[in-house]
Amino acid sequence: MPAFLNHWLTWSLLSAFFAGLTAVLAKVGVEHVDSNLATAIRTTVILLFTWALATAVGSLGSLPHLSRRTWIFLALSGLATGLSWVCYFRALQLGRASQVAPIDKLSVIFAIVLAAVFLAEPVHWRQWLGGALILVGAVLLARQ
C-alpha cells in the first residue's frame, strides 16, 4: 500500500472533498422533500454502505470485544452526528449551499475548544489563529 494512504492528511483531504460534494448533492436532494425525510434516506444509505465496508474489510470480528465505554461514546457520537445532519439538511433547505457549508465548518472551532476542555489537548497559538481565520472566512462567505 502506498505510504500516502497511511497518512492522516490524505484521509483528511478526502474527507473535506467528500464533505464539499455532500453539500452540493444534498442541496439538490432536499429541493422537493422534507429535510427530515431527506436526512433519513441519506442515513440509510450511509448505514448500508458502512456495514458493507466493515464486512468487506473484516472488521466485524472485533465487534464482541468492544467495551461498554466504547459503545456509549460511539452511540453519543452517533446521536451528535444525527443532530448535526438534521440541522445541516434543514439549513440547506433554507439557505444556499455556498453559505451553509462555511458556517457548518465552524465545527472546527467547536472541536478545538471541546478537545481542549474535555480531552486536555494542548491548544497553541496556531490553532487559535487558524480558528479565528476560519471564523472570519465563514462570516465573509456566509454574507449575502
Q: Does residue 144 sit in helix, strand or coil? A: coil
Q: Over the stretch 25-71, which tens digit does the pLDDT of each residue have?
A: 999 999 999 999 999 999 999 999 999 999 999 999 999 999 999 99
Chain segment 134-144, per-residue pLDDT in tens: 999 999 998 87
Per-residue pLDDT at 1 exceeds 90: no
In the numeric block, the cell 465548518 is attached to 105
- Going by C-beta distance under 8 Å and a sequence separation of 6 or more, which residues neighbour residue 116? 122, 123
CA pair distance 42, 33, nearest whole angstrom: 12
- Which regions of the chain does DSSP assign to beta strands (E)? none
- pLDDT tens digits, one per residue of 72-120: 999 999 999 999 999 999 999 999 999 999 999 999 999 999 999 999 9
In the predicted model, is pLDDT for residue 8 greater than 90? no
